[in-house]
Amino acid sequence: MRKRAGSIFNAATLSFTERISKLHIKRQELIRPVQENPKEYVLLSIRSLAERLKTDPATVLRIVRGLGFESYREFKAYLHELSIASATSLEGMQSVVPNDSSLASHGRRTLEQDIRNLHTLRNTLDMSRLVSVTERIYGAQRILLLGGDMAIALIYLLDYKLTLLGLPVSQATTPGKTLHAVRGIGKKDLVIAISFRRGLRQTVEGLQQARSNGAYCVGITDTFVSPVARFSHECFLTSVEAPFSNSYAAPASFINILFATCAHYRRARTLDVLKQVDHEQRHGFRWYPG
């Protein structure tokens, strides 16, 4: 998790909708514009927000505390995460002024953002938590991977790497397959769900069902306000920030790191597997003859 999340993540087990429902109806309507478009309000001071909502700072602070936040600063950090979760590809593209730079500059900007995403992963990834998940992976009777849309590429990557290690892994990347796959998941199983921004419905609902069935659930997402984080026992954040659309450089790197810890967790077992792989890579029919 991001170190700056702190107590905000602990409070993020409730969605904004659930938070608002705890307020008086008049205060619900007052704060509703912020819920619907957090990006417009995230940079405002408490006084400026009060002016936009046509109320006073004291009322805003009471609403903030009624939503479960200790301070307005904590509330703003939460809004920042909501703005990340609700971002769309169109908004990213529109933020770049047409013809303000060359095509090469756009390419460099994208590469630099990928590098920043990787630096963020390096600085925030808690290896002890990753090792704990690795132990659970080896202790699981079955491992189910959930994801859809663009995240299918990450599911395929993780599935291939865990299959290479001989682990009992399967995947569900469509709504129907997800529905049927999680039905048989239970207490001895582990589920890894991958989804970013607001969270894909099939992935989130599959994760919820798996958890209610007793499975241990691990999430990979980009913000602690994601429903993937909310419904996981353990969650890892990997930024997908990009000039527009999502970048999967950091999530792919995280999968490589997880694969490495799994490979070395039972080194002798992995070496036995890789001896067979080595023979196939040297002599197998799949490879073009040199």
CATH code for position 56: 1.10.10.10
237 alpha-carbon distance from chain centroid: 5
Residues 12 and 139 in one domain: no
Domain containing 254 — which CATH number?
Answer: 3.40.50.10490
pLDDT at position 59, please? 93
CA angle 81, 86, 89 (to 5 degrees): 120
Same domain? 139 vs 264: yes
Q: How confident is the model at residue 6 (pLDDT cuts 50, 70, 90)?
A: very low
Ramachandran assignment for 68, one of left (phi > 0), alpha (psi -120 to 50 degrees), beta (any other): left
pLDDT of 94 above 80: no
| Structure token pair of residue 233 | 């026992």
Examine the pLDDT at 161 and tell me if it is beyond 50. Answer: yes
> Is 129 found in the same domain as 77?
no
For residues 169 and 60, membership in a common domain is answered with: no
Tell whether 95 is covered by a domain. Answer: no
Let me know whether 131 and 244 are in one domain: yes
In a domain, 91, yes or no: no
* pLDDT band at 10; cut points 50, 70, 90: very low
Last residue of a domain, one of 85, 102, 137: 85
For residue 269, the enclosing domain spans 122-283
Same-domain pairing of 144 and 272? yes
Q: Are residues 43 and 145 in the same domain?
A: no
- How many domains does the chain fold into? 2
Q: Which residue has the tokens 């002024």?
A: 97
274 and 135 belong to one structural domain: yes
Question: Contact, 173 vs 154, CB < 8 A?
Answer: no
User: pLDDT category, 88, cuts 50, 70, 90?
Assistant: low
- Residue 288 forms part of a structural domain: no
Provide mean pLDDT across the span 87-95.
Answer: 61
Looking at the structure, tell me whether residues 161 and 208 fall in a common domain.
yes
One domain, residues 130 and 254: yes
pTM, two decimal places: 0.78
Of the residues 85, 111, 143, which one is the last residue of a structural domain? 85
Residues 224, 230: Cα–Cα separation, whole Å = 7
pLDDT, the chain, mean: 88
The pLDDT value given to residue 11? 43
Considering the domain boundaries, does residue 172 fall inside one?
yes
Please indicate, yes or no, whether residues 141 and 210 belong to a single structural domain of this protein.
Answer: yes
Note whether 143 and 80 are same-domain residues.
no
Strands 190-194 and 216-221, by their bridges, are: parallel
Look at residue 108 and tell me if it is in a domain: no
pLDDT above 90 covers what percent of the chain? 58
Which is nearest to 199 in space by CA: 78, 82, 67, 91?
A: 82
